[in-house]
Structure 1
Amino acid sequence: MKDNTIVVGLDIGTTKITTVIGEVAPNGSVDIIGEGSVPSEGMKRGSVVNLERATHAIRQSVQAAERVSGVRVESAYVSVGGNHAKAITSHGLAAIRRNQEIAQPDVDRAIENARAVPLDPNLEILHTLPQEYVVDRQEGIKSPVGMHGVRLEVDVHIVAGTAGPLLNLRRCVQEAGLRVDGFVLHALASGLATLEAAEQTQTVVVVDMGGGTTDIGVFKRGNLAHSACIPIGGEHVTADLAQILKIPMEEAENVKRRYGAALPELADQDLTLEITTASGSTHAISAFELSRIIKPRLAEIFSMIRDEIDHTLGPVELVAQGMVLTGGAAMLRGTVELARDRFRLPVRIGRPRGIGGLTDIVNGPQHAASVGLLLYSLGEDGRVPPAVFRERAEDLMVPPPAPEDPAPAKPAPVAASSAKPTSQKSAQKSDGPGLMDRIRGLFKDWM
């Protein structure tokens, strides 16, 4: 564990930048003392596209967290996602002299041999994560130090990032006034914060559904064993609504969050929205039809996740025992139910665990990665010391929100919005049926 008691996580996403400040207690537990979230600027799919705007947004996020905590921060662990992050699994071997115990230098030698794989010179290694060790063909060994054997083997999950995007990200953080303690893979951070103790004995898929990308991490007995990124996220769902309903992205995001659902059968069957387009024309659309626009894009994301895992590791139903959804896009009503249907696995929403302090602020799935960055800073080899969680009683955690009723009450009209709920009677007088026909035609093949 680091000597300093203040740790900082900086989660830089496509739609949101979050800074979380934590204080490490003497017993190893972590209290959240500061949080700052601002809309992201200058980022696209995990990469910097505008240095000045990205730097400005990072600075705003850090300053907001500093105001809450009263602490001046100087460095942070920074999340990395997007297609520029690459991952491979490599095998390492070390010979042990007869009649000698395996020592830490032997373990280091096996890991170093696993790292000695040809990589593109344009890649920078971010993580070298050992999986289970094998001693004289005996598998499933967590720590081989002190054991006897003549042959030590290890599989190492190597995560690397493209040098150019990493340099741009580092420059933005530095110009915002912070040093980069290290880059951490987004999926790894999310898994560290959300996996329960029982899940760390199984194989679990962690899916972080962000705005521009969806990050995948397959954790096998608590170790990150496979990682990938899908270049589609919640922002694409918003773009679908904006395109079909002919409304601005901001308005589409508001409509999606307040009235959308991943499954049409979970939408409010009695609710109809009145949509005013940019040209001034008015259409009516039911919440049911709204969800019919949302579902195909989410189904596409889940299909791409399934293809990635099936092609790399095998059928997901046979590989994994469960799935955890994190990220802001996972908060849409019905997403868990859609994932259960697509993957045939137990699925739950992942929320940060093992923390104290401002838990009411960071208890949602959208804070999984930022809290995971703090936990990563306390451990090594991508694992969190058990003491961090052991000292935190469950009754200190803020319980997750109660599940919503299948048929929620009719929501209030959108304030200052062109999308307004209206009655079924008024909907019949509008030109909504024409829009319905167009939507049905566009999505007939998808459904």
Structure 2
Amino acid sequence: MKDNPIIVGLDIGTTKITTVIGEVAPNGTVDIIGEGSVPSEGMKRGAVVNLERATQAIRQSVQNAERVSGVRVQTVFVSVAGNHAKAITSHGLAAIRRNQEITQADVDRAIENARAVPLDPNLEIIHTLPQEYVVDGQEGIKNPVGMHGVRLEVDVHIVAGTAGPLLNLRRCVQEAGLKVEGFVLQALASGLATLEAAEQAQTVIVIDMGGGTTDVGVFKRGNLAHSAVIPIGGEHVTNDLAQILKIPHEEAENVKHRYGAAVPELADPDLTLEITSANGATHAISAFELSRIIKPRLAEIFGMIRDEIDQALGPVELVAQGVVLTGGASLLRGTPELARDRFRLPVRLGRPRGIGGLTDIVSGPAHSTGVGLVLYGIGQDGKVPLSVFRDEPELAPAPAPAPAPTSGKGSGPQAAVQPEVTVVTPAPAPAPEPQKKDKGSFMERMKGIFKDWL
């Protein structure tokens, strides 16, 4: 258990940077006491591309969280995403003397032997995550310390990152006046925040859908057993819309969230948008056609994930019992339904749970990584703290999206003709007569009947 009761997670993404401050009670429960989110600057697909702008965004995010919590932040756990992160699973072995109990030193020796695999010298190890242990052929052992045997084996999931991107990330955090207490793989952090108690006994695929990348973690009985990064995210869907509809990126993002769907059949059949591009050309597109632009990109993401797991672990349907979607891009309407069709497994939307404090702010999928970084900081062993599953409070539901306006304008540079999206809907059909009638209308009809009789 971490001695410091204050733990800070810094989720540095492609579209936003979020700081989450957690306080650990003596009984191990976690309260979120601070949160600060700002648009991301200087980042692309999980890597720093502009040191100065990324540093300024990090500083602003942390300051916002400090104002809410009243706590001065000094050290942070930082999320790592992007295709520079690599992962392998290695096997370690340690011999035990006869009639001797297995000690923690024996466990450490087995893990160290698993770490002794040839890696690219340009890689820096981020995590060494032991899976279940095997003692004299007996599998499924969580903690072998104190047991008897002569052969101790362990599979270790090793996560490493390319030294250059990690150094750039560390420098940005340090320039913002903070110390990096540890790097944490984004898929691991999101899994720690969203996996429920029942899923700890299963094999579950956690898919964190971010802006620039999609991070995948396969959790086997609560342990991260496989991880991968897909270099496509929600921003690519927005770019597709901006390119095809000829509208600014900001307007495409607005159209995607307000009117789009991952499954065209779930789009509003009566909704039509009038698109006015920068050159003054106007054309209409239905919500169904809009969703037909969105679906192929999301289907591509799920297809790449399926191919990755099929090649590494075997057919998805035989490997896992369920899929958990999280991350901001997973909020697009119809995304769970499309994932269910592609993976042929139960799919649910994952939200942070097992925490207190500012649950109304951090209860959405977009905060899964930030909350998971705080949970990782409690034990720093890649496992969900047991206190999260004890007396788990009910999280407040995410706020409902604002009603869609009848028109919207892009926030890009002013042009001769500002791009515009207008919603066109057919005249509503006459409302059917309600079955439940109020007293006044009933009396009026009765008066008319009596008048006709007389």
**Residue 65 of structure 1: aligned partner:** 65
SS of 2:90's equivalent?
strand
1:170 deviates by: 0.2
**Residue 263 of structure 1: aligned partner:** 263
CA distance in 2, matches of 1:251, 1:147: 62
1:424 deviates by: 4.6
Q: What residue identity is the alignment partner of 2:387?
A: A
**Residue 422 of structure 1: aligned partner:** 424
Structure 1: state its 5+ residue gaps: 426-447
SS of 1:419's equivalent?
strand
Q: What residue identity is the alignment partner of 2:405?
A: A
Q: What residue identity is the alignment partner of 2:238?
A: T
CA deviation string 1:383-411 (max 9, x = no partner): 12212431x4334x324679x9xxxx984
CA distance in 2, matches of 1:218, 1:393: 24
**Residue 33 of structure 1: aligned partner:** 33
1:42 deviates by: 0.5
8 A Cα contact 2:360 2:398, kept in partner:
no
8 A Cα contact 2:96 2:102, kept in partner:
yes
8 A Cα contact 1:260 1:333, kept in partner:
yes
SS of 1:394's equivalent?
coil
Alignment pair present for 1:398 and 2:400: no
CA distance in 2, matches of 1:401, 1:203: 31
CA deviation string 1:20-55 (max 9, x = no partner): 011111111111111111111110111000101111
CA deviation string 1:163-206 (max 9, x = no partner): 00000000000101110000000000000000000001000000
**Residue 445 of structure 1: aligned partner:** none
CA distance in 2, matches of 1:125, 1:277: 48
Q: What residue identity is the alignment partner of 2:392?
A: A
CA distance in 2, matches of 1:201, 1:382: 16
**Residue 199 of structure 2: aligned partner:** 199
CA distance in 1, matches of 2:101, 2:407: 68
1:213 deviates by: 0.5
Q: What residue identity is the alignment partner of 2:79?
A: S
Q: What residue identity is the alignment partner of 2:358?
A: L
**Residue 245 of structure 1: aligned partner:** 245
1:217-232 equivalent positions in 2, closer than 5 A:
217-232=217-232
1:312 deviates by: 0.7
Alignment pair present for 1:315 and 2:315: yes
Q: What residue identity is the alignment partner of 1:398?
A: A
1:243 deviates by: 0.3
1:416 deviates by: 3.9
CA distance in 2, matches of 1:401, 1:361: 9
SS of 2:149's equivalent?
coil
SS of 2:102's equivalent?
coil
CA distance in 1, matches of 2:404, 2:385: 44
8 A Cα contact 2:123 2:162, kept in partner:
yes
CA distance in 2, matches of 1:393, 1:83: 35
Identity of aligned residues (%): 82
Alignment pair present for 1:331 and 2:324: no
Q: What residue identity is the alignment partner of 1:378?
A: I
CA deviation string 1:342-389 (max 9, x = no partner): 000000000001100000100000100010000000113211221243
Alignment pair present for 1:357 and 2:357: yes
CA distance in 2, matches of 1:135, 1:87: 25
SS of 2:237's equivalent?
helix
1:415 deviates by: 4.2
**Residue 447 of structure 2: aligned partner:** none
CA distance in 2, matches of 1:340, 1:367: 23
How many residue pairs get aligned? The number is 418
CA distance in 1, matches of 2:398, 2:346: 18
8 A Cα contact 1:157 1:225, kept in partner:
yes
SS of 1:167's equivalent?
helix
CA distance in 2, matches of 1:277, 1:386: 54
CA deviation string 1:204-234 (max 9, x = no partner): 0000000010000000000000000000000
Compared CA separation, residues 120 and 103, structure 1 to 2 (3 A): same
**Residue 445 of structure 2: aligned partner:** none
Alignment pair present for 1:413 and 2:406: yes
Alignment pair present for 1:75 and 2:75: yes
8 A Cα contact 1:271 1:410, kept in partner:
no
What's the C-alpha RMSD, in Å, of the aligned pairs? 1.5
CA distance in 1, matches of 2:385, 2:330: 28
Compared CA separation, residues 399 and 247, structure 1 to 2 (3 A): closer
TM-score with structure 2 length normalisation? 0.90
SS of 1:53's equivalent?
helix
Structure 2: state its 5+ residue gaps: 411-419, 428-454
CA distance in 2, matches of 1:4, 1:265: 51
Q: What residue identity is the alignment partner of 1:394?
A: P
Compared CA separation, residues 400 and 411, structure 1 to 2 (3 A): closer
Q: What residue identity is the alignment partner of 1:421?
A: V
Alignment pair present for 1:16 and 2:16: yes
CA distance in 2, matches of 1:380, 1:292: 43
Q: What residue identity is the alignment partner of 1:80?
A: V
1:423 deviates by: 2.9
CA distance in 2, matches of 1:52, 1:159: 28
CA deviation string 1:404-434 (max 9, x = no partner): 9xxxx98432444521101358xxxxxxxxx
**Residue 235 of structure 1: aligned partner:** 235
SS of 2:317's equivalent?
helix
